A and B are shown apart, each in its own frame.
Chain A
Amino acid sequence: MKRARLLLVSALIAASTLASTAPGAFALKGQVRSNSDGFSMSCVGFADTYPQQLYSLTVTQMAKLGFSIADSSIGPSFTKTAFLTTVLQDYAVYVHSHGDNYWASSGAPNVDSGFLQDPGSGRCNDYTRDVVRSSSIKAATAGSPYNLVIMSTCFLGSDNSTMPGAFQIEQTKLSNQPEFYLGYVGHVYDSSMLRFEQAFWSYINAGNPYYTLWGAFTYANSLGGYAYPDTADPFRPNWWGSSTYRGTPTVPANG
């Protein structure tokens, strides 16, 4: 029995190692979503170019990490339904949108964090219709493990965010599981997210097998040069999960 378990664990480790050499039909899945219509000409009178830049960057770099990018979209097909019905099969998730720590339906001080789906062509975001709450995600993920979750939004990296828990990632920096959550604490300029995430991906995908996602985060966090809206609201990225996880798609040994 023990030998069989060891074999299974070895097999899973081998599988996750080989996943990066065969990024195709067999790779673990990741999804990348970006809200662009909420920040488009028809809604705000100008075209915010950052959602496309962040989306393109992530699709390329998450795939380079070894995840098979499936069910991903920028624009109208980033809907609440599309996200919630596909997220269970994923091991990596990226969202760029407006995000906040909203009051839970039970009322303050309980929080139910969320982000806004794309409103659809020619429409503007409406909170009541468009919010994708962490409680809904928690139900959709049903206790399933996730390797990498990036919330490229405002606020979802703050201590009171309930978004990490929606993906079963505990708000600790001492996890021994292959999991990593990245978010931002306060208001964040798009340019700062782009600069940070570019540095993050450039490090982790540099080809050094010893590099970790935490190292990538630490490197990006050290660079400085990030614009912020107010001295009282500086640029503050945050993370939770494992400091030793290298970011390759991995089925947790206890999962």
Chain B
Amino acid sequence: MSATRSNTAFKSAIGVGLLIGCLAIAGNSLSGAGQSPRPGESASPTEPTVDFQLLDAQASPIVFSHATTARDALGFPVGVSRTGKHVKDGFQHAEYDEVDELDAAGQPISMTQLDKSGRVMSAVRLDASPRPATRIGRDSALQAAQRGASAAGMAAGGTASANVDPATDGWTVRWSRIQDGIGVRGDETTVQVRPDGRIQSLARVEHQLAAAPAQRIKADEAKQFASNKADLWFRAHGSDYSIDSMDLEWVGPNGAFDAGKSIDPQPVYRLAWVANVKPSGDASKYLWMVTVYLDAGDGSLLGGDFVE
């Protein structure tokens, strides 16, 4: 017997053992309904959960109407039935209404999420996408995305970027949010376009911004703050670094450097100098980049990000 077959047989044996074990306890398990958390219930008070309340189309006609408008504007398929729910998403720290279009088997074929004012937060097709031999060109994808965003009522201004999406073999088109000439990190309107030009998904991410500080430290001063940090991180440990960029951005304060730091789950974004620090020497073999957010007013550390 080959190693492959014997090891597969080993795993199959585990499966049969599982069966015997499960059958032995099936009575208890089935009669013990209520012991396991039901969908939407919290398994533990500390872990994030998605809690929801079902919505009835007659009791919440506006929600369903907005979802229908988005579905048709984006050219999504019409299901044979729909379900709606009000969701408290503990992972994304967001609350929204969601409508799923279902096929005859009850399988979701699209999902639309709406914020409390009824605006589309995200909409995505969940039916299988054809994979034609050729993909539409970049310009066609940009035009399709622009049309989709407009049809769904999302203003998508400014310069768009378009990249091939390996997951769908189509395109991901992004419009980054710019406020008063300054980029908002992560805020964007995103449209995914299928290889045949149809819309795969659309989403908008937008955070509240704090007032800009009355006075800003200059880029050189911010760079010095970043260097002071990087000296401790890298030079003190036998590596070196370079600061590749220093840009003003709106950022969400986070606990990237401090697990004990109290973080607002729905942070108001603050104006910051954002430095990309690239290690060299030994550290570069396992840490590609550290991004540091420094308060644009006083240079204090607001958080950051890592590419390991």
Q: Is the CB of A234 within 8 A of B163?
A: yes
B256 touches which of A49, A125, A217 (Cβ 8 Å): A49
Q: Which residue of B192, B258, B307 contacts A187 across the interface (Cβ within 8 Å)? A: B307
CA distance in complex: A125, B308 (Å): 11
Residues of B within 8 A of A173 (CB): 131
A210 touches B128 (CB 8 A): no
Q: Do A210 and B106 touch across chains, with their CB atoms under 8 A apart?
A: yes
Within 8 A of B (CB), among A152-168: 153-154, 157-159
Central interface residue in B48, B167, B287, by most chain A CB within 10 Å: B167
Residues of B near A251 (CB, < 8 A) are 11-12, 14-15, 18
* Cβ-based interface call for A237 (8 A): yes
Q: How far apart sit A18 and B23, CA to CA, in the bound complex (Å)?
A: 8
Interface membership of B247, Cβ < 8 A: no
Report yes or no: A28 in contact with B108, Cβ–Cβ below 8 A.
no
Q: Measured between alpha carbons, how far is A157 from B167 in the docked complex, in Å? A: 10
Chain B nearest CB: distance from A251 CB in Å?
3
Tell yes or no: A44 within 8 A of B by CB: yes
Q: Are B287 and A98 in contact (CB under 8 A)?
A: yes
In the bound complex, residues from chain B placing their C-beta under 8 Å from that of A243 are 128
Counting CB contacts under 8 A, is B7 at the interface? yes
A83 at interface (Cβ–Cβ under 8 A)?
no
Assembly CA distance A91 to B307 (angstroms): 28
> Would A91 and B234 count as touching, CB distance under 8 A?
no
Would you give the shortest CB distance from B227 to chain A, in whole angstroms?
13
Given A231-B161, A251-B14, A207 and B40 contact (CB-CB distance below 8 Å): yes
The answer for the CA separation of A199 and B205 in the assembled complex, in Å, is 14
Interface residues of B in 1-27 (CB under 8 A from A): 2-5, 7-8, 10-12, 14-19, 21-23, 25-26
Query: Interface on A for B, CB 8 Å cutoff?
Result: 11-12, 14-16, 18-19, 21-22, 25-28, 35, 38-39, 43-50, 52, 60, 64, 88-89, 91, 97-98, 116, 124-127, 141-145, 153-154, 157-159, 173, 185, 187-191, 195, 198-199, 201-202, 205-208, 210-211, 215, 217-219, 221-227, 229, 231, 234, 236-239, 243, 251, 255
B-side interface residues toward A, CB under 8 Å? 2-5, 7-8, 10-12, 14-19, 21-23, 25-26, 29-30, 36, 38-40, 43-44, 47-48, 50, 52, 89-92, 102, 105-108, 111, 122-126, 128, 131, 161, 163, 165-168, 172, 174, 185-190, 192, 200-205, 229, 232-234, 236-237, 254-259, 276, 279, 282-283, 285-291, 305-308
A-B contact pairs, 17 of them (CB 8 A): A15-B18, A18-B26, A19-B18, A19-B22, A21-B26, A43-B283, A47-B259, A127-B286, A144-B8, A190-B256, A190-B305, A198-B92, A206-B39, A207-B38, A219-B126, A225-B186, A225-B203
Lowest 3 CB-CB distances: which A-B pairs, in order? A207-B39, A143-B4, A224-B190
